[in-house]
A and B are shown apart, each in its own frame.
Chain A
Amino acid sequence: MSFIKKFIQQETVSRRNFLLASAYGVSGAAAMRMFGPSPVQAATYADPTVAWSYRNRTNPYWNEIVSGGEAFVESLGKSKDFLTHLINEGSSEKSLADVKALLAKTNGELALAIDTNDAPNARPVVEACAAAGAYVSTLWNKTDDLHPWDFGDNYVSHMSWSDEKPAEQTARILLEAMGGKGGVVHLGGIASNNPAIERLQGLKNALADYPDVELLDAQPADWDTQKANQIMSSFITRYGDEITGVHCANDTIGYGVLEALRAEGMDIPIVTYDGNPQAVELVAEGKILATVFTNPHWGGGITASLAYHAATGAFKPSEEPNEHREFYGPTIMVTPEDALEFRANYLDNVPTYDWKDFWGPSNGPIMYK
């Protein structure tokens, strides 16, 4: 039983160190803030713990993200299990609590990749990591006033996607297929989600150039196949043959829409978003006109890689320009012409990425409106 005793002792010591370190870190950071951006020399670690904090794996999108994280740790010559999973199940409180617990356990020797679940939660997470001397890279959620360069080396990077332009492109493909006239319906994600808002806006932008197409209705389908199926049936009741095209906020919604159309024996063009393998399959068959691939596998891997390489001191984030610290992720349009080629290149064999090419596939610095 001695190993248990030893473990408890270690934990007690590391917790005490953590408390001391964070007490120093908070007051130290407060003092340093007064004299300009963090001149603290951040410590680096030979073998930091690598962790991914995310919603859960039920969603195919997050599943892809995390598989990228696993591919990255495997590229270090470690087993998949080396990656620590912090699962927040959609709770910001749990997200923050888990991060704090892991910081205590690892004594700050941590490279963390995280989606903080909502934007306001990014600041406490980043501050906790910086105070403990850990390295953090964020994905998707952060507030506009929070920037990596305000935290020296510890807040390594932030990656996000702007969905408005790609959603506008898919909308144009749809509106062209409709012959520039008729009626279109939109099935969106959870109404308050940023990607859901941007994807609807993309459709609206495209519609401005097509005065003969009417936006009949737009309803949130909460990224859910079954809900999308029911809403589409109701749309068919309300608008019937007036609907000549469907714009879906993501692939999962698209599957539900396709089945609703199939039940009615209707065949009208639809476009989706995300580029999940099944959607790409359906694009190749011509059942979906276009989807957008955001390469979540690369996104998940590179976010973990940035945090890890900063933590080992392989590169120094504070010496990088701002566009290397806040940048957009890649987007690739998939249409019936290139679907098979795309599948061969990205899905059938997941490419072996160079996880040290941090910014190659990225898409320019983040712009604030």
Chain B
Amino acid sequence: MTDITAQTAPRARWLTRERIIKWAPLLVLIVLVLLFPFFEWLEDFRESKEHLYLADSRFFSIRNAARIAIASTPALMVAIGVTFIIIMGSIDLSMEGTVSVCAVIFAFAFIGWGGTLTSWAWLAIPLALLVGAVLGFINGLVHVRLKIPSFMASLAMGFVGTGFALLLTGGDRIRVEDDLFRSLLTVRWFNFPIMCYVALAMLLIAWFIQSRTTLGRNFYAVGGGEELAHASGLNVSRVRIMGFTLAGIFFAMGALLAVGRIGIAETATGNNFMFISITAVVVGGTALWGGIGGVWNTLVGVLIVNVINNGMVVIGLPSYVQDGVLGLLVIAAVVLSTDRKTVSFVK
């Protein structure tokens, strides 16, 4: 009898609590992707139409996958940026301002230097990334040197950014009409526009930084226990400032893709990024108290939020319940995807 229990034990151990929690965000995503076609099937079933569950689904199609991917790319860049900060146990709320400033400066430089990628205007891209880095650097300096909590420092910097973007544009919007630049959206490889591949490349770079560089490991060290990291001789202030700088670069990348998607740069380009990026990071399983999670979690989180947004319209949910449903689903996803047993209290 003891033999039998000994045999089943490894199977039981394979499905450990930690492992379930680690993969929960992906499970949530898969459930959602199967749930929305079910509602479509239900709708056709009521009208007694022919409908093969996944095969006839409009939601579960490659065209719609591309639409969700397009909607996700700018948000993914911003969310990756803030992931690094959240891993450190801080928060960065400056994304709306930073995205607006980068988008506007990029558009002005791009138009001013020729207006097409084949001219010197391509320099506008590194310029935008540089601006993002500088804004992030200032953000980090304000947080670390002036000893202002990252929440307040970054929120304030975000407002400064929005104000600055407004000052630059005077409330106008700038159209970026270069066909080569807009091919980010209009040219497709294997059904997905180029901007999706750009985002994928940035995701891989972020993953490299997170797992293969000292800086990436230091983020986890600071988030896991700042005192311990400090006592071990880590220059925590420097890691923090570099983290905010890195986040700024990813915010700038988000701005470039946002302009690529709409073809317009304006003060409102940054709108709504705060909600979607923070939500996506948390839903993806990165803990707000730091030390846990990573960029793959963020990818899953961004996809969860965008799948919900897209799916609700596709199944014809009335607009007035959509916000409520989104809120409930976010709570459900966070409950399922974060390990709260090890946390004694939540601030």
Contact = CB atoms under 8 A, between A and B. Distances in A.
Interface in B144-184: 162, 166, 170-173, 175
Given A57-B166, A63-B172, A235-B313, A225 B264 contact: yes
A262 B172 contact: no
A157 interface: no
B193 to A, nearest CB: 7
A209 B316 CA distance: 26
A178 interface: no
Interface string B48-91: 00000000001101011001001100000000000000000000
A256 B272 CA distance: 15
A58 B267 contact: yes
Contacts of A220: 319
Nearest to A229: B262
A224 B232 CA distance: 49
Interface in A196-251: 217, 219-220, 224-227, 229-231, 233-238, 240
A200 to B, nearest CB: 11
A59 to B, nearest CB: 7
Nearest to B313: A234
B186 interface: yes
Chain B contact residues: over half helix, strand or loop, or mixed?
Answer: helix
A237 B313 CA distance: 9
A260 B91 CA distance: 33
B58 A57 contact: no
B202 interface: no
A30 interface: no
Contacts of A191: 319-320
Given A58-B267, A191-B320, A225-B268, A237 B310 contact: yes
A236 B71 CA distance: 14
B21 interface: no
Contacts of A240: 58
Contacts of A262: 185-186
Nearest to A262: B186
Nearest to B268: A58
B313 A231 contact: yes
Contact of B261 (A57, A227, A229): A229
Interface in A247-270: 255-256, 259, 262-264
A12 interface: no
Given A57-B166, A233-B310, A238-B58, A63 B263 contact: no
Chain A contact residues: over half helix, strand or loop, or mixed?
Answer: helix
Nearest to A59: B171
A226 B262 contact: yes
B271 A234 contact: no
B262 A237 contact: no
B70 A233 contact: yes
A259 B262 CA distance: 6
B185 A259 contact: yes
A60 interface: yes
A275 to B, nearest CB: 15
A138 B166 CA distance: 25
B258 interface: yes
B262 A236 contact: no
Contacts of A237: 58-59, 61, 63-64, 67, 310, 313-314
A238 B309 CA distance: 13
Contacts of A59: 171, 268
A234 B314 contact: yes
A256 B71 CA distance: 12
A230 B172 contact: no
Contacts of B61: 237
A27 interface: no
A63 B319 contact: no
Contacts of A229: 71, 261-262
A278 interface: yes
Contacts of A238: 58, 313-316
Contacts of A62: 171
A236 B64 CA distance: 9
Contacts of B171: 57-60, 62-63
Contact of B67 (A63, A226, A227, A234): A234
A255 B309 CA distance: 20
A128 B170 CA distance: 32
Contacts of B271: 224, 226
A58 B64 contact: no
A269 to B, nearest CB: 20
A264 B67 CA distance: 9
Given A225-B262, A237-B64, A238-B314, A263 B186 contact: yes
Contacts of A227: 272
Interface centre among A56, A59, A226, A238 (most CB of B within 10 A): A226
A219 B319 contact: yes
A252 to B, nearest CB: 8
Contacts of B193: 263
Interface in B268-296: 268-269, 271-272
B262 A255 contact: yes
A255 B264 contact: yes
A228 to B, nearest CB: 10
Per CB-CB distance, the 9 closest pairs between chain A and chain B, nearest first, are: A63-B171, A234-B313, A233-B67, A57-B171, A237-B64, A58-B267, A238-B314, A219-B319, A230-B71
Interface of B: 58-59, 61, 63-64, 67, 70-71, 162, 166, 170-173, 175, 185-186, 193, 258, 261-264, 266-269, 271-272, 309-310, 313-316, 319-320
10 contacts: A58-B162, A58-B266, A60-B171, A224-B271, A226-B258, A226-B269, A226-B271, A233-B67, A237-B67, A278-B173
